[in-house]
Structure 1
Amino acid sequence: MKRGPELIDAALEGLIAPSFTRIGFSARQRLFDWRRVDSYDLSGRVIAITGATSGLGRAAAERLAADGATVIVIGRNADKSELVAREIRELTGNPAVSVVVADMGDLDAVRRAADQILRAHDRLDVLIHNAGALSARRAESADGIEMTVASQVVGPFLMTSLLIERLAESGPGRVLTMSSGGMYSAELTVDHLQMNRDAYNGTKQYALAKRAQVTLSELWAQRVAAGSVVFHALHPGWADTPGVESSLPTFHRIVGPLLRDVDAGADTMVWLAADDSDPLASTGGFWLDRRVRSIHRLPNTRRSDTPARRAELWGWVGERAGVTVPVPR
């Protein structure tokens, strides 16, 4: 039988708006008496995070550095990444904040970034895939992949495969993927994962990519022993980030007063990276506000999520990434 806090949490989760806004975050924080994310000592741990120059990634990188972690800021713009790293060092007093430049949609850049991380660090405790943008116009990467899929599905898959052994050696390593509540509207598809130019819709393309991300996180978890590396995906709820403001201006204007601030949006990401209890006790979860949630809310997305389609997705992404994935045990 569920206790009072679990009943309230379940009621919030059943109603999207209260769950995803700052209301859900504030209620759960009180209900479950969360440990503060500024109470962790992460000295000696190495954490790499993509998309760390603004929004949720910047908030998480700053918090993790303040907790003593060695933080690798991965960004596509060298000047901006260096500026952010310098600001984080100054704000936290932690000198161990470095930069690796990579556009996650450029597979050659991802390979160079992974090599740079491996050469500079003899351990890697956490890899956080946070980079992501919603584009109104269709574009393709240098590898001929639709850019949203390249940067949020294929690029992260490649980086994970290149760093998986180092994560396992530091074990248990963690791979975290920041998804979006928008994935709830998207079916799992391979044939239509990349929208063509005539039918392109940036919001739908983003949701399709986010659905693929969550599925791949589960598939990684099935293939890699939890004692080596754990995998978790999560979504931040509705957070007030520069990306939301620029990509979804109408949504931002209407929901603005109820949006979470970036620290609240990044809370579960930081907690999954820092805490040694629940985040290491399971693998393959999809989280919101420090609790595992269902990956489906609609019957059509559940019907689309078949074992055959999952296997097809794994093969398709691996082929595009050009890797045969080593699976540590």
Structure 2
Amino acid sequence: MNTVANLIDKTLEATVAPSFTRVGIGVRERVFDWTPLERLSMTGKTVAITGVTSGIGRAAAEAMASLGANLVLIGRDEEKMQRVQSELSQRAAAAGSVSYALADLGVLEQVHDAATAVSERHHELHGLIHNAGALFNERRIADDGMELTTKVQVVAPFLLTSLLMPNLTAGRGRVLTMSSGGMYTAGLTVSSLQMPEDTYSGTQQYARAKRAQVTLNEMWAERHGDSGVAFHALHPGWVDTPGVSSALPGFGKVLGPLLRSPEQGADTLVWLAAAPL
């Protein structure tokens, strides 16, 4: 059975489009006989996650809350954080909890402050999920002069992970980074990671950042190999989210019902967060 399943998996992967849509996850779920997420438990696990107000991050947070996790939401808008905290608390298992720390990932001082707050509240951290991200069709520059896609999706995760490594080590945790299949379209040249104004493309800048995320996880794994912390970069497939609809409106029009749901996009993320090391 494994041989047949692996052959089907490789065939889907080679065709790209079926693999990344709801077709791919539906077929794999059957041929590999996946364990339903509802059978897993995250009781006693504390997980910090960015990008939780909508889409994949929201779906992942809902699933982990229902599995009993102690969630620490990281976001910049306090009103939204309070609303999401309240809604997730209603779905949370009795053993879990939901709190939040405020930080705009485009402002490194706020990232530092959020990491300090999380570290002081939770000696052991069992998961850190980098899910926040956006595709900017027009080039945006942060106050310090750094291109915003790079700062939010590469620099901020690096800082947050570095500051929380003692807590992750204490909890023998996992660092999970939501990358994208778009990274296949970009190589990694550090000197040109930030695209200049005259050649800027939102999709290409996004792809470069996602490629950098994958490489960053490889570097973390090498650097912290003896810490007991695991590092994973993953691809959610092609998912119907507000972010995709806003940044790539034509994408949804072409693929339409073939796009995965946010819950399907979050499936692997939740499984990795819940699985024992």
TM-score, normalised to structure 2's length?
A: 0.97
Match of 1:322 in 2: none
Match of 1:69 in 2: 69
- Residue type of the alignment partner of 1:96: S
Match of 1:16 in 2: 16
Shift of 1:268: 0.2
Instruction: Write out aligned runs for 1:238-257 (5 A).
Output: 238-257=238-257
| CA deviation string 1:130-150 (max 9, x = no partner) | 000001111112232100000
Instruction: Write out aligned runs for 1:89-100 (5 A).
Output: 89-94=89-94, 96-100=97-101
After alignment, is 17-26 or 119-128 more displaced? 119-128
Shift of 1:92: 2.9
- Residue type of the alignment partner of 1:215: T
What SS does the corresponding residue of 2:199 show, helix, strand or coil?
coil
Give the total of aligned pairs.
276
Partners of 1:153 and 1:110 in 2: how far apart? 13
**1:145 partnered with 2:146:** yes
Match of 1:52 in 2: 52
Aligned residues of 1:107 and 1:143 also touching (Cα < 8 A): no
| CA deviation string 1:119-176 (max 9, x = no partner) | 11121100000000001111112232100000000000000000011100111x1000
Shift of 1:256: 1.3
After alignment, is 155-164 or 225-234 more displaced? 225-234
Q: For structure 2, which runs of at least 5 residues remain unmatched after alignment?
A: none
What SS does the corresponding residue of 2:212 show, helix, strand or coil?
helix
Instruction: Write out aligned runs for 1:1-329 (5 A).
Output: 3-94=3-94, 96-171=97-172, 173-225=173-225, 228-276=228-276, 280=277
Partners of 1:47 and 1:146 in 2: how far apart? 28
Shift of 1:87: 0.5
Shift of 1:227: 5.3
Aligned residues of 2:111 and 2:159 also touching (Cα < 8 A): yes
- Residue type of the alignment partner of 1:166: N
Q: CA RMSD in A?
A: 1.3
What SS does the corresponding residue of 1:52 show, helix, strand or coil?
coil
Aligned residues of 2:67 and 2:93 also touching (Cα < 8 A): no
Partners of 1:212 and 1:63 in 2: how far apart? 28
Partners of 1:115 and 1:211 in 2: how far apart? 28
Shift of 1:226: 5.5
Shift of 1:65: 0.7
- Residue type of the alignment partner of 1:125: H
Aligned residues of 1:53 and 1:73 also touching (Cα < 8 A): no
- Rate the CA distance shift 1:2–1:59 in 2: closer, same or farther, 3 A: closer
Instruction: Work out the percentage of aligned pairs sharing the same amino acid.
Output: 53
What SS does the corresponding residue of 2:132 show, helix, strand or coil?
coil
Partners of 2:227 and 2:22 in 1: how far apart? 34
Shift of 1:93: 4.8
What SS does the corresponding residue of 2:190 show, helix, strand or coil?
coil
Aligned residues of 1:131 and 1:152 also touching (Cα < 8 A): yes
Partners of 1:78 and 1:238 in 2: how far apart? 29
TM-score, normalised to structure 1's length?
A: 0.82
Aligned residues of 1:134 and 1:203 also touching (Cα < 8 A): yes
What SS does the corresponding residue of 1:3 show, helix, strand or coil?
helix
Partners of 1:46 and 1:93 in 2: how far apart? 13
| CA deviation string 1:263-303 (max 9, x = no partner) | 10000000011012xxx3xxxxxxxxxxxxxxxxxxxxxxx
Partners of 2:79 and 2:97 in 1: how far apart? 18
What SS does the corresponding residue of 2:56 show, helix, strand or coil?
helix
Aligned residues of 1:129 and 1:176 also touching (Cα < 8 A): yes
